[in-house]
Amino acid sequence: MTGWSPARVWRSRIHRYRLIAARCTSCGRAHYPPSNACPYCGSRSLDNVELPRVGRLLSYSVVYTTPFEDKSRAPIVIGLIDLGVAKLIAEVVDVTPEDLEVGVSVEAVFRRVSVDGSTGLIVYGVKFRPRREG
């Protein structure tokens, strides 16, 4: 995503860089990215929980229809990742799509997410890559 304001990127730095989810103190469920209320029970009583950095790839798509700024990176792999206490959708990197399969173990890596032209913001965040054996 490009076109974000610097303030918006700055506001989300903590949870994006450190994978901080919100955990509901009423129903106990976690969600990411953290909202102001629990998406499951509606409670506004939440605390923070750092997500595990290793999970399982539940599914993925290999995306060719990307915006212009990501054209050179296409195809981009988008994965549905289960981190145990919460699931999330994120980009999967360091892999050729043909080598990927449902169920593989993946780990979080810190990466550049978008570059807004030559004068705009460079946004960073967490992506995932298949976990190396051993």
Partner 1 sequence: MAYITGVGLVNVDRHYDKGIRGLAFEAASKALDSSMSSEVDFIVVASSLSYLQEPQLDLASYIASSIGLRGARSIAVESGEASGLAAVMTAKTLVESGVASRVLVVGVDKVSDHPSWRAYKHLSMLYDTESDAFYSIGLGGVAGLLMRLYMHVYKVDRLTLAYWPALMHSNAKKNPYAMLRFSITPEKVLEAPPVAEPLTLLDTFPLGDGAAALVVEGSPSRGALAEIAAVESATGYQSVALSDDPLKIESLEVAYMRLVERTTLESIDVVELHDSFTIMGVLELETLRLAERGKAAEAVAQGYFSVGGGGPVVNPSGGLKARGHPIGATGVYQVAEVALQLAGEFPGLQVEGAKGGLVVSLNAAGSSSYIAYLRSVR
Catalog residues that contact partner 1 under the rule CB under 8 A. Answer: 1-2, 12, 16, 31-33, 35, 39, 58-68, 70-71, 73, 75-76, 78-81, 86-91, 97, 102, 113-114, 125, 127
Amino acid making up residue 16: R
**At closest approach, how far in Å is the CB of 78 from partner 1?**
4
The smaller minimum CB distance to partner 1, of residues 68 and 132, is found at 68
Burial of 96 (0-12, 13-18, 19+ CB in 10 A): exposed
Tell me how far CA of residue 123 lies from CA of 46, 96, 99, 131, in angstroms: 27, 24, 28, 24
Nearer to partner 1, 87 or 131 (CB): 87
Q: From the CB of 68, what's the least distance to partner 1, in Å?
A: 4
Please state the closest distance from residue 59 (CB atom) to partner 1, in A. Answer: 4
* Residue 73 and residue 22 in contact, taking contact as beta carbons nearer than 8 Å: no
